[in-house]
Structure 1
Amino acid sequence: MTSITTTNTIDVVSYCRVSSHGQGESGLGLEAQREYIARAAQQNGWNIVDAFVDVVSGKLAIEDRPEGKKALAACKKLKAQLVVAKLDRLSRSVHHIARLMEQTEFKVATMPQAKTFELHLFAALAQQEREFIANRTKEALAALKIRADAGDIQSVEKIFRRSEALDKGRTKANRAKATEAVQLRVNTWQESVRDPIDLCIRKGGRTLQQVADCLNSKGITTSRGGQWSSMQVSRVMKNLALHFPAKDAAV
């Protein structure tokens, strides 16, 4: 049975934020946020007197968001506290959180008993973790680029998918150029293994696995630097329009 705190009931203003009309960057969708807040209000005796929703990036301070500004004004007018589902719905910046603490009291549904100092500490730890993640991401992308420049097809495709996700602001012409550049790298690597595959066939390779074994024995690696399999051979041969002699069946 749900327990409800019977101490002084406080009025709260619900505030939710998503980064887009979809789920939002943290995976915490609008409905989930509302449920978190509703449950916390029920369990802690909070009285929700108003509610606001922003569809905006968390990089903006809450006072610079359309609905966030209204929510703060409502808190002041109704003498209520602001409540959010999670701390990152307010901001991902310790500076923004600290500044907000000077303007109004607020509560976090997932940490309903947390005090101001604790919330500030959580915000600092979260920001530090994001910085660690950002650094690891940069290092991973740098390594990915090195492998892509060396002809690793999977790395090239991963970079392309990442750039495609960030491509919304680019022009159609620039997107076309990016696609052409990726395809050129893919084609360049595939052409580099055309002769070795052809030679393996000419030397008696009559199945995909025999060609794979031949390439592996010569120390020729796949685009990711690994051993060839029959499936990989099949894919590359198809792209390069290479075939076994008509009387032989490649299986």
Structure 2
Amino acid sequence: MEVVAYYRVSTKSQGESGLGLDAQREYVKFAAEQQGWVVVAEYEDVGVSGSIHPLERPSGAKAFADGRPVVVAKLDRMSRDVEHIAGLMKRHKFRVATMPTADTLQLHIYAVLAEQERTFVSERTKAALKSLDVRAEAGDIDALHSIANREDKLRKGRSMLNRTKGHDTQRQQADVRAALVKDAIELCVLKGAASLQAVADCLISRGIPTARGGNWSPTAVMRVMQRLGLELKKPV
């Protein structure tokens, strides 16, 4: 089956680094080899938010105008909006490299559950804080103590933030650098890298340097994976 590939990164730094786009290409390439797809064209949008409808993006519109099925690395590269996904399903064919055999119903369910979980987390947090405030206004001692503790923690947090602003900046920079190689590491694990050394070798073979421009070591891989919350696959 002939397909066209569509890649998207939401920040220019991801596009300039090439890591985000390269990792997406690897996902699509791996799925194409497994599923017998032939990628006949590639389109990419750099610095484009996932909140914008795919058909309103410069390259997204071209990809879907091609007429052949569109393949994306992950569903969120297409969109994070269930309404966008549902609308596209009615008019176009597309595939997701990380779920190559999923049908439209399964993709729709996945998108709904992902959006629902994000909404639930936000609503649970807001509801818990509102309930605490109501109980405190009614004179609930425990609630008053909880609010006092929360405010105290916020004050300490702000104070700590001011004292450690430089360290926070460094941590934020490290988080950004780690995020840029997340897809690359996930892909190495997906393709069989079962140890830290194997992941390091995989990154080196793909020409991806560390933040300091050097080669990867098992320790460097471990630190980045811990920062990203990634784990190696456990042997079956």
Q: Residues 81 and 97 from structure 1, CA distance in 2 versus in 1: closer, same or farther, beyond 3 angstroms?
A: same
The runs of 4+ residues in structure 1 deviating greater than 6 Å are 139-143, 158-161
Match for residue 231 of structure 2?
A: none
Alignment-mate amino acid for residue 44 of structure 1: Q
1:36 equivalent to 2:30? Answer no
User: Deviation at 1:30?
Assistant: 1.7
Match for residue 66 of structure 1?
A: 58
Q: CA RMSD in A?
A: 3.3
Report the 3-state secondary structure (helix = DSSP H, G, I; strand = E; otherwise coil) of the residue aligned with 1:132: helix
TM-score (norm 1): 0.50
TM-score (norm 2): 0.53
Paired residue total? 147
1:156 equivalent to 2:158? Answer yes
User: Deviation at 1:93?
Assistant: 1.3
Report the 3-state secondary structure (helix = DSSP H, G, I; strand = E; otherwise coil) of the residue aligned with 1:15: strand
Unaligned residue ranges in structure 2 (runs of 5+): 133-146, 170-236
Aligned counterparts of 1:146 and 1:48: Cα–Cα separation in 2: 59
Aligned counterparts of 1:29 and 1:99: Cα–Cα separation in 2: 26
After superposition, give the CA deviation of every residue in 1:209-248 in whole Å (9 maximum; x if it has no partner).
Answer: xxxxxxxxxxxxxxxxxxxxxxxxxxxxxxxxxxxxxxxx
Of all paired residues, the percent bearing the same amino acid is 48
Match for residue 42 of structure 2?
A: 51
1:15 equivalent to 2:6? Answer yes
Larger radius of gyration between Structure 1 and Structure 2: 1
Q: 1:105 aligns with which of 64, 80, 93?
A: 93
Aligned counterparts of 1:67 and 1:114: Cα–Cα separation in 2: 24
Report the 3-state secondary structure (helix = DSSP H, G, I; strand = E; otherwise coil) of the residue aligned with 2:13: coil
Unaligned residue ranges in structure 1 (runs of 5+): 1-9, 166-251
Q: Is contact 1:22-1:29 (8 Å) kept?
A: no
Match for residue 125 of structure 1?
A: 113
Match for residue 70 of structure 2?
A: 82
User: Hey, which of these two has a bigger chunk of helix by percent?
Assistant: 2
Q: Is contact 1:148-1:156 (8 Å) kept?
A: no
After superposition, give the CA deviation of every residue in 1:103-136 in whole Å (9 maximum; x if it has no partner).
Answer: 2100000010111111111111111112123335
Report the 3-state secondary structure (helix = DSSP H, G, I; strand = E; otherwise coil) of the residue aligned with 2:61: helix
After superposition, give the CA deviation of every residue in 1:57-98 in whole Å (9 maximum; x if it has no partner).
Answer: 101110111111111112x2xxx1000011111111111101
Q: Residues 46 and 151 from structure 1, CA distance in 2 versus in 1: closer, same or farther, beyond 3 angstroms?
A: closer
